[in-house]
Structure 1
Amino acid sequence: MATQKLYVGAKLRSVRTRLGLTQKDFAAKLGISLPYLNQMENNNRPLSTTVLLGLAQDFGVDITELSASDTDRLVSDMREALADPLFADTQPHLADLRLAAANAPSLARAFLDLHRAYRQTHERLASLDEALGQQTSATASPWEEVRDFFHYTDNYIDAVDRAAERFAKRATGDLAAHTSAVLADRGITIRHVAGDGVRHYDPDTKTLTLSPRAAPETQRFQLLHQYALLGQHELIEATLDLARFQSETAREIARIGMANYFAGACLMPYARFTEAAQDTRHDLERLSIQFSASIEQIAHRLSTLQRPGSKGVPFFFARVDQAGTVTKRHSATRLQFARFGGACPLWNVHQAFETPGRFLRQLAETPDGARYVILARDVSKSGGAWGRPTRRYAISLGCEVRHAADLVYADDLDLDQDAAFRPIGISCRICERTNCHQRAVPPLERQLSVDPNRRGTLPYEVAP
């Protein structure tokens, strides 16, 4: 099989800029001509083996950073945006989208921001949603802005992750006891009293209240979350400054996200957790016991192991509610999630609600031909007392089939049979499959044929 050519001019240019070198100096250090470097940075030539070796040996660059994962994400997001009927008469070719994502990623993201602003404005004017109708800003919602920030950083924040690892190493015994002692040294009183929420901090009295109704792993997580907000304030604020969010609301949401990230990285320190994940072959239940964390916390942490030089298996992670809405999402793989609407109904995560407490396995293939091993599990959360509502969620964790040997859940699956892989998509409106029995709406990029004298699985046929 021929090796795929690597056109990553924007990333090569970013590496050079980060090193503070001119094109002339960079070319000289790599042992190539200036015109040759210029052609590679402008994607007129693919990266050569000489350049790849030079980047790794002379500059210590992790060549996995030069993968096309960001480009794939941008292409997927642009295809979905361009499926909007607004662009019905102006559909760029896939090759053009790949060129734009590779050569001008900032322009591609600006286009996505512009389309999102248009979509939100249109929805407000049409009064499709009362909540949106009360908003006055046409920019990205704060929630979406923060979600996209983590999405495009591979859900890995190096400075926060390493700080959490250092904090966990200083705990000679129980991490929760160590954290409680550190907070006590700051004059903070910790109470365990049932109330309406899981955690409450009163800055005036310096009192932290945790609900005893919450699961032990949740209480530990919330304890670390509060320490992150107080003890790692300067680090978190500096990280938020670099993100340059458009509104204070987005910054506040991201601050919570950063504290959550710190807490998870404390419970599951990067090096120790990565080693344990490899040793157990990513057995979520064994990891849950070893690190005293919930199944959801373990699955989410596995999707963040993208530290340059010591990356783990690239996973995608998602959490959905009973309506099929994706409430958390991250992908270090080629698989991307719908930015609008529900997830593909053929995805096994929807069936997890029917089998609480059990792992469901699925071999799946997306329209681009990529194949995945996917786990799904119900992670519904009790209210902690009679009469209190249960929050119903299911999670999905998956990786490409080429990593199946590293996954204990794939041991007895027939990976060589094409029929074993179920076709799934991103969302119906951009899915290219013409014969899906679960299609909810027609694909916007295809012509339809409607015959009143014939009825198949769908009331129409999709042109190939």
Structure 2
Amino acid sequence: MAIGKLYIGRKVRDLRLANRATQAQFAERIGISISYLNQIENNQRPVSASVLLSLAEKFKIDLADLSAGEGDRLMSALSETLSDPIFAAYAPNLQELKLVTQNAPGLAHALIAAHQAYRHNSEQLASIDDTLGRTSGLTENTPYEEVRDFFHFVDNYIHEIDLLAEKLAGELGIGDTDSYAALNGYLEQAFGVRITRAGRDDDLIRSYDREARILTLNPYLPAATRDFQIALQIAQLSAGQAIDAIARNAAFRTSEAYEICRIGLHNYFAGALILPYRKFMDAAREVRHDLDLLSVRFGASLEQVCHRLSTLQRPGLKGIPIFFARIDRAGNITKRHSAAKLQFARFGAACPLWNVHQAFESPGRIIRQLAETPDGVRYLCLSTQITKGGRGFHLARQHYALALGCEISYAANFVYADDMDLGNRAAYDPIGISCRICERTTCAARAVPPLKGRLVIDHERRATLPYRLKEN
């Protein structure tokens, strides 16, 4: 196997820290000098083929895990940023993007953050009049988006929290016994917290009285939501210090972002507790990622199962690289993560040719699609609709579509690919990431021209689109 120059310092460092090894111990184990390891971790030297093979042998990891993932996400975000017309005078090639993301990831993150602030400022100025514009402060990246990027760039996997949750799940027998009984019993025995049913409060999901040590839950919650809320309370009580430390170390710009991150980390612990890493990954492999079977096996919702599949990124024990998203009827991506090459657009709606939009037309079904992006990578895409809320006839329900998938080379690990013609090029639908950055010039579903596309207007001729895109 030919191996090009790989600058994967962060991955090597994360692997060393995950194994609780000093640089001296780690270097000795893979047979290199401490100075060479230090240069690798700081992206001053690439890893050699012999070092890669030693890492794979000593730590039982797949070579593919070391050469993809983190850089793909950062390079996708940077490429989208540089497609903005404000960078019209500069069009970096693929090699330049790789050099920046591999050797100066901090600079890439800073440029992305600066571009986000610019976009927010521009949008604000466009929506207010001159008087308000002169008196209003300009905003930066919102706290919510800042936290979203935090999880995105750590691969949606928090090693310390995941290990804590898995350890507790093993002690409680989660995955082998009734989750509700185990969680309820632990909450009362370890923390003296009792669970009660709420009265007539349609909006309430959970409420915790710290003084009385009473957790109040809506009595009409689905079992999966009820168990998740109990697990979330356990997260607050048992992993609070670790979670607070991780949020502090993220160095968010505002207290709002810090608090939002704490909520996200509590939710992460809860998901990892009810779907413990090794048991869940083993079950996923056994049933070949059958979402319904996994949901029944662990008493979890389809959304919990799909989300957890996208977090199986533990160093040395990775699952299938999966992309996951949740989309509302308006096309807004309300959750997103990708461990695959497919990266979701940071701005704008998702591609209209993607099968996730069809899920709203066929509730209760899993929609399948073979798709190909402009870079030639092919995917197995799955989508299904879910309904949330609506505890009673008069309460509103929220409808979402869940999207899940993988690169076609992993499709055999999914039961949904069994009768699909994976080798037939004509079976693949051409999709993009977002119209604003899509390279396809003849797509009839295009909503807006690409940011860097040059338009050709012909008043004497009209096709599906009212313009043509000039070929580069």
Structure 1 stretch displaced more, 206-215 or 53-62 = 53-62
Q: Structure 1 residue 140 and structure 2 residue 141: aligned?
A: yes
Matched ranges for 1:143-292 at <5 A:
143-172=144-173, 173-185=177-189, 186-193=191-198, 194-195=200-201, 196-292=203-299
Counterpart CA distance in 1 for 2:222 and 2:15 is 48
Q: Structure 1 residue 78 and structure 2 residue 78: aligned?
A: yes
Cα 1:395–1:87 shift into 2, 3 Å: same
**1:5 paired residue number:** 4
Deviations 1:133-182 (A, max 9, x none): 99846432111111111111111111111111121122254322232223
Cα 1:36–1:297 shift into 2, 3 Å: closer
**2:186 alignment partner AA:** V
**1:326 paired residue number:** 333
Counterpart CA distance in 2 for 1:309 and 1:10 is 16
TM-superposed deviation, 1:244:
2.2
Q: Secondary structure at the match of 1:182?
A: helix
Cα 1:428–1:202 shift into 2, 3 Å: same
Cα 1:40–1:318 shift into 2, 3 Å: closer
Counterpart of 1:450 (choices 427, 450, 457) is: 457
Deviations 1:100-144 (A, max 9, x none): 111111110111011111111222222269xx9998464321111
TM-superposed deviation, 1:28:
12
TM-superposed deviation, 1:337:
0.5
**1:182 alignment partner AA:** Y
Counterpart CA distance in 1 for 2:136 and 2:316 is 44
Counterpart CA distance in 2 for 1:51 and 1:327 is 40
TM-superposed deviation, 1:295:
0.8
Cα 1:135–1:379 shift into 2, 3 Å: farther
Contact in 2 for aligned 1:5/1:47 (Cα 8 Å): no
Contact in 2 for aligned 1:379/1:392 (Cα 8 Å): yes
Counterpart CA distance in 2 for 1:136 and 1:164 is 42
Deviations 1:299-344 (A, max 9, x none): 1111111111211111000000000000000000010001111111
**What is the TM-score with the length of structure 2 in the denominator?**
0.89
Cα 1:261–1:137 shift into 2, 3 Å: farther
Counterpart CA distance in 1 for 2:162 and 2:15 is 25
Cα 1:314–1:33 shift into 2, 3 Å: closer
**2:166 alignment partner AA:** E
| Pairs aligned (count) | 458
Q: Secondary structure at the match of 1:428?
A: coil
**1:377 paired residue number:** 384
Unaligned segments of structure 1, at least 5 residues = none
**1:51 paired residue number:** 51
Deviations 1:425-457 (A, max 9, x none): 111010000111100111122221110011111
Counterpart CA distance in 1 for 2:452 and 2:404 is 29
Structure 1 stretch displaced more, 447-456 or 174-183 = 174-183
Identity among equivalent pairs (%): 48
Cα 1:58–1:452 shift into 2, 3 Å: same
Q: Secondary structure at the match of 2:314?
A: coil
**1:67 paired residue number:** 67
Cα 1:207–1:59 shift into 2, 3 Å: closer
Cα 1:396–1:123 shift into 2, 3 Å: same
**2:415 paired residue number:** 408
Matched ranges for 1:346-425 at <5 A:
346-425=353-432
Counterpart CA distance in 2 for 1:288 and 1:58 is 35
Counterpart CA distance in 2 for 1:179 and 1:278 is 26
Contact in 1 for aligned 2:9/2:40 (Cα 8 Å): no
Q: Secondary structure at the match of 2:188?
A: helix
TM-superposed deviation, 1:243:
2.1
Contact in 2 for aligned 1:378/1:395 (Cα 8 Å): yes
Q: Structure 1 residue 461 and structure 2 residue 468: aligned?
A: yes
**1:104 alignment partner AA:** A
Counterpart CA distance in 2 for 1:392 and 1:352 is 10
Matched ranges for 1:418-437 at <5 A:
418-437=425-444
**1:289 alignment partner AA:** V
Counterpart CA distance in 2 for 1:184 and 1:16 is 37
Q: Secondary structure at the match of 2:398?
A: coil
Counterpart CA distance in 1 for 2:50 and 2:170 is 40
**What is the TM-score with the length of structure 1 in the denominator?**
0.91
Cα 1:4–1:26 shift into 2, 3 Å: closer
TM-superposed deviation, 1:239:
2.1
Counterpart CA distance in 2 for 1:283 and 1:29 is 38
Cα 1:27–1:454 shift into 2, 3 Å: farther
Cα 1:410–1:39 shift into 2, 3 Å: closer
Unaligned segments of structure 2, at least 5 residues = none
Contact in 2 for aligned 1:74/1:101 (Cα 8 Å): yes
TM-superposed deviation, 1:48:
2.7
Cα 1:122–1:51 shift into 2, 3 Å: same
TM-superposed deviation, 1:462:
1.0
**1:389 alignment partner AA:** A
Contact in 1 for aligned 2:27/2:37 (Cα 8 Å): no
Counterpart CA distance in 2 for 1:64 and 1:78 is 22
TM-superposed deviation, 1:7:
2.4
**1:154 alignment partner AA:** D
**2:91 paired residue number:** 91
